[in-house]
C-alpha cells in the first residue's frame, strides 16, 4: 500500500522534482516501507522523532537524507546538527546562529532553507516574504550553515488552487535572491507543496514536495 503510493508518486513527479516523505505520527515500520520503495528524503517535524526513527531504520546513514521540516527549538540545535542533512525551517538570524554554532562544533556545514511565511500569518513560523532577502544576507556570513533555497507551507485553505499566489510569490523571492549571486548562498531548492497542493506547487516551480497523507494514508491525529 505505502510502497504502491510511493511508486505512483515517483512515476508522476517530473524530472527535477524530489519526493520527500513527511512522516509525522508515522511509525518506524511505515517509514521503512516508504524508504524501501524509493523515498530518499525523509522530513521530520520533531528532532526527537527523527532520533527514534533513524535508530529504527538503521541510522541517518548515507542512504536516506533526513530533513527537519518543523520549527527548530534552540535547545535542540545540537541534536539537530547531528541528525539532519538539511534544515528547511530557518526563519531568523538567531535560529540560524544557534544551528551554526552547533554545526561548528561538529565541523559540519549544514545546508538550510529559509522558511517563508508566505501567508503573512502572524501566529505562524517563517520569515515574512519582504524580510527574506536581508535574512539570507545575514546568514551568508556564517561558516557552518549554507542557504540553498526556500521552503513554504502557505495558509490552510480548502481549495488548493487558492495556494497558487503564495507559491508564486515565494518563487519570485527565490528568483530575486538567486539573481543577487550572494557569496555562500546557492539557490537551488524550493520546497513547497503537500498532498493536496503539490501539483500546483510544481507548476509554480517547486523542486522538493513534502508529502504525507498521499503516501501513508490519512493521519491518525
Ligand atoms: C505534515 C506536513 C506535510 C505533509 O502534509 P500532507 O498533507 O499529509 O501531505 C508537509 N510539510 C510539513 C511541514 C508538514 O508538517
Q: Whose CA is closest to atom 6 on ligand 1?
A: 212
Pocket of ligand 1 (CB under 6 A): 22, 24, 45, 69, 153, 194-195, 210-214
Judge whether 175 and 150 are in contact, CB under 8 Å: no
Q: Which three cell numbers stand for residue 201?
A: 506547487
What is the residue-wise DSSP string for 84-135? -SEEEEE-SHHHHHHHHHHHHHTT--EEEEEEE-TT--TTS-SB-GGGHHHH
115 Cα to the center of ligand 1, angstroms? 14
C-alpha span between 140 and 123 (Å, rounded): 27
Phi and psi at residue 45, to the nearest 5°:
-85, -25
Angle formed at CA 16 by CA 15 and CA 22, multiple of 5 degrees: 105
Best mutation site among 42, 116, 212, 216 for ligand 1 pocket (most ligand atoms within 8 Å of CB): 212
Of ligand 1's listed atoms, the one at least distance from the Cα of 211 is: 9
22 Cα to the center of ligand 1, angstroms? 5
In tens digits, what is the pLDDT along the chain, a chain of 221 residues?
999 999 999 999 999 999 999 999 999 999 999 999 999 999 999 998 888 887 666 544 447 899 999 999 999 999 999 999 999 999 999 999 999 999 999 999 999 999 999 999 999 999 999 999 999 999 999 999 999 999 999 999 989 999 999 999 999 999 999 999 999 999 999 999 999 999 999 999 999 999 999 999 987 66
216 Cα to the center of ligand 1, angstroms? 11
Amino acid at each position: 500500500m505505502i510502497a504502491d503510493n510511493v511508486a505512483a508518486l515517483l512515476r508522476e513527479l517530473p524530472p527535477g522534482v524530489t519526493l520527500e516523505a513527511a512522516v509525522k505520527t508515522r511509525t518506524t515500520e511505515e517509514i521503512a516501507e516508504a524508504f524501501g520503495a524509493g523515498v530518499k528524503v525523509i522530513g521530520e517535524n520533531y528532532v526527537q522523532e527523527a532520533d527514534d526513527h533513524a535508530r529504527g531504520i538503521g541510522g541517518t546513514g548515507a542512504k536516506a537524507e533526513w530533513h527537519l521540516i518543523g520549527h527548530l527549538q534552540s535547545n535542540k540545535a545540537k541534536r539537530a546538527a547531528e541528525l539532519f542533512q538539511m534544515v528547511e525551517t530557518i526563519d531568523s538570524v538567531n535560529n540560524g546562529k544557534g544551528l551554526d554554532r552547533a554545526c561548528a562544533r561538529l565541523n559540519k556545514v549544514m545546508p538550510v532553507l529559509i522558511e517563508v511565511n508566505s501567508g503573512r500569518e502572524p501566529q505562524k513560523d517563517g520569515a515574512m516574504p519582504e524580510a527574506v532577502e536581508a535574512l539570507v544576507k545575514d546568514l551568508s556570513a556564517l561558516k557552518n550553515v549554507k542557504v540553498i533555497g526556500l521552503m513554504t507551507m502557505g495558509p490552510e485553505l480548502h481549495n488548493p488552487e487558492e495556494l497558487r499566489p503564495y507559491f508564486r510569490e515565494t518563487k519570485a523571492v527565490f528568483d530575486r535572491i538567486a539573481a543577487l549571486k550572494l557569496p555562500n548562498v546557492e539557490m537551488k531548492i524550493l520546497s513547497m507543496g503537500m498532498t493536496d497542493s503539490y501539483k500546483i506547487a510544481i507548476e509554480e516551480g517547486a523542486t522538493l514536495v513534502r508529502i504525507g497523507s498521499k503516501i501513508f494514508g490519512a493521519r491518525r491525529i
